Amino acid sequence: MVTLLASGCLRVIGAQHGVAVGAAAKASALATDPDYGPVLSREFGMLTPENEMKWAQVHPERDRYDFSGADDLVAFAEQHDMAVRGHTLAWHSQNPGWLTGGSWTRDELISLLEDHIATVVGRYRGRIAQWDVVNEAWTPIGLRLNPSPWSTGIGADYLEIAFRAAHAADPDAQLFYNDYGIEVAGAKADHVYAMVADFVARGVPIHGVGLQMHVTSYFDVAQLEAQMARYEALGVKVGITEMDVRLPVPPTPADLDRQAGVYERAASACGRSPICDTLVLWGFTDRYSWVPSFYPGTGAALPFDEDYAEKPAYDGLVRGLQAGGP
């Protein structure tokens, strides 16, 4: 058992070792659960709106934006000196019906995408540290573009159109490509690496790659370390952007210990990497995790349990951050 520092360990230790430790956050939980905000601001120095900045929530009608949830989360972050990761400006999921059901020309879709990005990124100009500009563009098998209004209506150049629009709207924000399945060696990791290398070579404004890290407790962190290292050659950052480590529920003590080990080694890998300074969990308490509804029979994926008690994973993160960078 690690002797924990004063409360706020993850945020404090992370900052001491050059890692911004964050969590995805829900505006609804912030508004209704009195325990949620205090733990979030005590333990984390960064937050990502889990859903509140996605097209379906922030742009529900063609001529109407709804920034209420996003504004609440950004305001909370600023009140508690937390950085914000914006998520996400172009994805194949959680798009509103008016967009997916419309019949658009390529030029119309380019205008819709550019106008959305100018509006959303422009609203938070100077207040968002990193944006997930494009999320999960490629299918894990076959490496085709995930079908979306952007990929089918614009084509493969929608990605760089989005990055250029985001950079124009906030030149100081660090712009990320975010994906899963690229934390390990394989065709998808190679494909995304080649895409990022091409963007860098052509001057497309990209600054980082988000490695989501939605994994099980058997994940081999050496794979993550190898994928992180390859990006050093490109002069971009890498970030762990959506980490959770799902377990069969109810988890055994061995499951929880294995989970702690994965969190520990991932935190250490980020701290020791010269290009990783971001470790964001996808939530922080099992009470609100997306995992049980998407992976039935699994859960318990986060460092706080449903009653906000620290799990072995919490101590694993502390150990990993302490073993990380200078």
In whole angstroms, how close is the CB of 123 to ligand G3I at the nearest point?
19
Q: Report in angstroms the alpha-carbon separations of 116 from 86, 99, 102, 155.
A: 14, 12, 16, 18
Residue nearest to ligand G3I (CB): 290
Name which of residues 242 to 281 contact ligand G3I (CB under 6 A).
Answer: 242
Q: Helix, strand or coil for residue 231?
A: helix
Out of 10, 49, 51, 166, which residue is the one contacting ligand G3I (CB under 6 A)? 51
Note whether 290 binds ligand G3I by CB under 6 A: yes
Report which of 220, 308, 243 is spatially closest to residue 29, judged by C-alpha positions: 308
How many Cβ atoms are within 10 Å of 226's Cβ, its own excluded?
15
Note whether 50 binds ligand G3I by CB under 6 A: yes
In whole angstroms, how close is the CB of 166 to ligand G3I at the nearest point?
17
Query: Residue 52 or 315: which CB sits closer to ligand G3I?
Result: 52
How far apart are the C-alpha atoms of 42 and 37, rounded to whole Å? Answer: 8
Residues in the chain: 326
Note whether 131 binds ligand G3I by CB under 6 A: no
Query: Residue 134 or 321: which CB sits closer to ligand G3I?
Result: 134
Note whether 183 binds ligand G3I by CB under 6 A: no
Number of residues that bind ligand G3I (CB under 6 A): 8
Report which of 245, 159, 167 is spatially closest to residue 194, judged by C-alpha positions: 159
* The token pair that represents 308 in the structure block: 């906000």
For 138-145, the CB contacts below 8 A with 24+ separation are 138/179, 138/188, 138/191, 138/192, 140/180, 140/181, 140/188, 143/187, 143/188, 143/191
Residues 6+ apart with CB under 8 A from 134: 88, 89, 90, 91, 158, 159, 162, 163, 177, 178
Query: Residue 209 or 321: which CB sits closer to ligand G3I?
Result: 209
Out of 7, 68, 93, 105, which residue is the one contacting ligand G3I (CB under 6 A)? 93
Q: Helix, strand or coil for residue 64?
A: strand
Query: Residue 12 or 166: which CB sits closer to ligand G3I?
Result: 166
Ordered DSSP codes for 178-190? EESS-SSSSHHHH
Query: Residue 272 or 287: which CB sits closer to ligand G3I?
Result: 287
Note whether 138 binds ligand G3I by CB under 6 A: no
Pairing label, strands 237-248, 298-299: antiparallel
Out of 135, 151, 268, 285, which residue is the one contacting ligand G3I (CB under 6 A)? 135
Catalytic (active site) residue 52: no
Out of 95, 174, 212, 278, which residue is the one contacting ligand G3I (CB under 6 A)? 212
In whole angstroms, how close is the CB of 90 to ligand G3I at the nearest point?
12
Q: Which residues of 48-58 are buried (b: 16+ CB within 10 A; e: fewer)?
A: bbbbbbbbbbb
In whole angstroms, how close is the CB of 162 to ligand G3I at the nearest point?
16
Catalytic (active site) residue 306: no
Among 50, 160, 225, 242, the active-site one is 242
Query: Residue 257 or 295: which CB sits closer to ligand G3I?
Result: 295
Among 43, 136, 160, 225, the active-site one is 136
How far apart are the C-alpha atoms of 326 and 17, rounded to whole Å? Answer: 6
List residues binding ligand G3I (CB under 6 A): 50-51, 93-94, 135, 212, 242, 290
The set of catalytic residues is 136, 242
